[in-house]
Structure 1
Amino acid sequence: MQLQVARIGKPHGIRGEVTVQVLTDAPEDRFVPGTELTVEPAAKGPLTVISARWNKDILLLGFEEITDRNGAEELRGVKLFIDTETVDEDDDEGWYEHELVGLKARVGDDVVGTVSGLRTLTVQDLLVVEDGRGEEILVPFVEAIVPEVNIEDGYVLLTPPEGLFELNKPEDKKDAAPADTKEAGQ
């Protein structure tokens, strides 16, 4: 499966380097010189990394196929992908979104929904679970709440805190008593 790891921004300098918007948590592993990246649109690649360096908070990449600023300018907006099947993963605790989507969300033996996405945030990730009514529940993707991910058997086991699945209920379903009490007291 193809996983997007970056999007190319503007050129940097005159030797073909480009700035990139990094979309991976391990840029030091993804942009090693010699790495061949699949691109979208396909007509612009594939591209082979020859250099990767940081300029303040911006990653700069150089490609074997691009040697000048004009070539770098033509890459603006191009998406960079890796093939997840060929990547060696040392971390058995991580999952890609495409591996999680479609898994049944269980609390004990009860199925409470289906994983429909993963929101990657700076502090922690959130599993997006769609319940039987089509509502989304955001579940903190931490071991205390998601102690088991079983890709082979097709489920994630949840131990949610009380009220987690009630947090996303629409306002019109909540108790309207306070508004009625206010009118009666006037």
Structure 2
Amino acid sequence: MTPQHTEGPDAHPDLVEVTVGALGRAHGIRGDVAIDLRTDEPERRFADGARLRVEGSTRVLTVESSRWHSGRLLVHFVELADRTAAEGARGLVLVTDVPSDEVPTEEGEYYDRQLLGLAVETTDGRAVGTVRDVLHPGPQDLLEITTDAGIRLVPFVEALVPEVDLAGGRIVVADVPGLLTDLADEPDQADEPA
């Protein structure tokens, strides 16, 4: 269950603030709101009774109920009693505090914050950089990795990232030509002695 903290993350150093969504258009007359999701776990973050803060404020919205409608999550908040209140809240960004050691419910899934700063190694153990960011441009997430050759974007798929070792503070990336270095920097296979 989502922690029900309304204090800022500084009040509890073992908590981190995460963005879970933004309020979209009002739906219907009773004040339901479409949510622009910013979480992979909407059922967890928008569970009945969850208390979510409006980003940058102490205002709290309490989830009374949620449901899926035509591929969108619709949420009714206790504090938004009707359509007028829901329309006035459009655009608000919702955050919550979660334990820093919380992990996703699905195995093999990771929160962005768990990956940031991890050392990056090739499959043969060569250190090549650090995870700088996790990007979500579309259907495929990308790891933004800082290397000696500059910033590299690596699709976050098992074929290219076969191992994530959170306890060891590292991820392993396949040593595919051109993925982590410029092709011009790769040794030419034809020049190597036979």
1:115 paired to 2:131: yes
Distance (whole Å) between structure 1 residues aligned to residue 94 and residue 183 of structure 2: 35
1:76 paired to 2:90: yes
Q: 2:121 aligns with which of 88, 106, 110?
A: 106
Give the alignment's TM-score, normalised by structure 1.
Answer: 0.77
> What is the CA-CA distance between 1:167 and the residue it aligns to?
5.7
> What is the CA-CA distance between 1:83 and the residue it aligns to?
2.6
**Which residue of 2 is the match for residue 36 of structure 1?**
51
**Structure 1 residues 168, 50: closer, same or farther in 2, change over 3 A?**
farther
Distance (whole Å) between structure 2 residues aligned to residue 14 and residue 74 of structure 1: 13
Distance (whole Å) between structure 2 residues aligned to residue 109 and residue 13 of structure 1: 57
Secondary structure at the counterpart of residue 110 of structure 2? coil
- Kindly provide the CA deviation profile for residues 5-38 of structure 1, in whole angstroms up to 9, marking residues without a partner as x: 1111122223222121112223233222111212
> What is the CA-CA distance between 1:168 and the residue it aligns to?
8.8
Q: 1:126 aligns with which of 132, 139, 142?
A: 142
Q: 8 Å contact 2:128–2:180 — kept in the other structure? A: no
Distance (whole Å) between structure 2 residues aligned to residue 68 and residue 83 of structure 1: 27
- RMSD in angstroms over aligned alpha carbons? 2.5
> What is the CA-CA distance between 1:39 and the residue it aligns to?
2.0
> What is the CA-CA distance between 1:88 and the residue it aligns to?
6.6
Q: 8 Å contact 2:177–2:183 — kept in the other structure? A: no
Q: 2:39 aligns with which of 24, 28, 32?
A: 24
Structure index of larger Rg: 1
**Which residue of 2 is the match for residue 96 of structure 1?**
111
**Structure 1 residues 34, 75: closer, same or farther in 2, change over 3 A?**
same
Runs of 5+ unmatched residues, structure 2: 1-15, 186-194
**Structure 1 residues 33, 128: closer, same or farther in 2, change over 3 A?**
same
**Which residue of 1 is the match for residue 72 of structure 2?**
58
- Kindly provide the CA deviation profile for residues 98-156 of structure 1, in whole angstroms up to 9, marking residues without a partner as x: 111111111133221110111235543221111124x2211121222212222233211
More helix by share: 1
Distance (whole Å) between structure 1 residues aligned to residue 176 and residue 73 of structure 2: 40
**Structure 1 residues 102, 160: closer, same or farther in 2, change over 3 A?**
same
1:14 paired to 2:41: no
**Which residue of 1 is the match for residue 156 of structure 2?**
141
> What is the CA-CA distance between 1:70 and the residue it aligns to?
2.7
